Every structure is written in structure tokens, then in C-alpha cells.
Amino acid sequence: MYLSDEQMNIVTGPGVSNWEPIDLPTGKQDIPAWVRGAHVDWMNGASNAPDVTLKVHGKVYTWPDQRWEKHGSMYIARHDDGRACVLYHDGPISKQTLPDERVRAKVLSGEIERLPDVEVMATTKQSGFGGSSYWLQMIDGSDLVLRGPWHGGAPAGYVEVGAIDMADDYYRKSSWHRGRPWHKLGGGPGVYLTEETFLRIIARFCPHVGMARTKHCYGVRLEPYRHEWGGPKSAVYMAELERARLKQPAGEHWRVYWDGHERYCGQMRIPTYGFEPGVMDLPTERDHKLAARKPW
């Protein structure tokens, strides 16, 4: 089993053992044409690191002539524009007879009554993605089926981001999504970007944020932060958590820990033991109304 950064955060905690600031590139940035915007969710009310979502046009996790490479238990397909797709599977590979899921579209259209069997190299079956099979074309032109691969953290030199495809009718025409900001339209499949591509995109759309190279127990990551925090979120979050645990007044960055109203089933909470002297960002009337609202 492989765990995402979010899952590792729960298992090991959000602590950062070391970090250094990273300068964003300046001037006009050359970014992929399919990128139309970027948003940073600071993940207030949760210990997770800030999350970046891109507004994109088209399905960015697949492209023509996509070829995969195997590096140990990691399988990666790289595009010249800086994106990549990554899957993980540590099972052995052997020749197997499997239904050819590459012709599933014809089955759904009624052209074929059942999937034909085909001999193909495939891994053992694991439980990632509900046990779904992924048919890959490898860099040497051979076919390989990953049976139940896993999602995992970004490989070295890459950053994982979410992606909302605004060309998808699911987002454009659904009444549930109507009127919502694009970055709140729900989850979309993620994509991995080279650090260079990621920084250029952030410089174009979010030049106001700070950027740090952080060392977590599960790997080194590029992570946005607010300049007023003075560093990555984890230290600010843990400081507010400790104040709450010790029944002390909340500090100036109290929202990082207490304000979870944008989380799924999250809630705004008003600090129980008041605020330290000098805190300017005190709860508003809207905050009190949010705190009285049920989180579901």
C-alpha cells in the first residue's frame, strides 16, 4: 500500500524538520496553454499543508502517444510541457490472459457484446483505485497492465496539484456547480508537475504567496505559505494547537487552527479562551454565524 501526502500527514503528523524560502521567477512566464488559473487553499482548520488546484482546459492526465517508464515500484509518464502521471505498484509481472479493456468504448456503444480476452504482461492484482486495471504503453512500445495500482506522493523533482477541467460538461452544465467559484467545484484528478513548471504557474497566477522547500518525514516538497506566517504552515498550526491544548488565549494566526468552515463537514470555531493582547483579526459577526451553523 502507498499513501498520499495527506494520508502520511495523518500517520506521521504535519511537522517540518527543515525549510528554506524559494524565490518565484519574475517577468512574463511561459506556461502550458492548458493552464488557465491557479488557486491556493490554505487548508485552515486542518493540519494539511496548503493545497494548489489548477483551472485547466482538457484532460491533462492523458495525452496522445503517452509512454510510461518503470522505476522500481513507480511508473511514470512524462510530457515535454512539464506534466507527468504517476502510479505505484510493487507486484511481480507475468504474462496473463485478461479481458481487453481498451475496447470498452465499443462495448458500451453496442458494437461488441463482451470484452475479448488477450494475452498481455500484467502485474498481480492489488487494491489501489478499487482494484481497477490501468493499461499502459511502455517506452519500448510494449503493453503492460497495472492491476490495482496505488496513488502516492510526488517523485523527486515534481509537485502534485489538483486540476479542474473547465471544458468538462460535468462542471459547466451541472446545476449543483452553478454559481460556485471554479476552485470549489469538487475534486478532480491530480497531475504532477516539474518544480520549474509549478513555480512558473504560481508566479503567473499567485505571485503574492511565499514558497518554501520543506522537509517532511515523507519527503521534500515545495509548499506555498503566507508571508505573514514567516514560514511554512505547520509551525503556525502546531503553535495554535498547543495554545488550545493548554487552554491559553489564541494568537494572531488563530484561523489556521480554528477556522475550518471551508473543509468538508468542517466548522468555524471561536477560540474558547479568548485572544492574546494585540490580535487584530477578531471574530466578526459572520464568523459567529458560521460557528453556529452545523458542519453538515
Q: What pLDDT, on a 0 to 100 scale, did the predictor assign at position 1?
A: 60
Checking if the pLDDT of 272 tops 60, the result is: yes
Q: What pLDDT, on a 0 to 100 scale, did the predictor assign at position 296?
A: 65
Q: What pLDDT, on a 0 to 100 scale, did the predictor assign at position 237?
A: 94
Task: Name the band, by pLDDT with cuts 50, 70 and 90, for residue 168.
Answer: confident
Across 253-280, average pLDDT:
94
Q: What pLDDT, on a 0 to 100 scale, did the predictor assign at position 17?
A: 83
Neighbours of 97 (CB within 10 A): 9
Weakest mean pLDDT among 9-13, 66-70, 133-137: 9-13
% of the chain residues with pLDDT over 90: 72
Residue 54 phi/psi, 5-degree rounding, is -105, 140
Averaged confidence pLDDT in the chain: 90
Checking if the pLDDT of 252 tops 80, the result is: yes
Q: What pLDDT, on a 0 to 100 scale, did the predictor assign at position 227?
A: 96
Report which residue type is found at 227.
H
pTM summary value: 0.90
Task: Name the band, by pLDDT with cuts 50, 70 and 90, for residue 176.
Answer: low
Q: What pLDDT, on a 0 to 100 scale, did the predictor assign at position 4?
A: 75
Report which residue type is found at 228.
E
% of the chain residues with pLDDT over 70: 94
Q: What pLDDT, on a 0 to 100 scale, did the predictor assign at position 9?
A: 74
Q: What pLDDT, on a 0 to 100 scale, did the predictor assign at position 77?
A: 97
24 grid coordinates: 518565484
pLDDT in tens, 101-150: 887 655 555 666 678 899 999 999 999 999 999 999 999 999 999 999 99
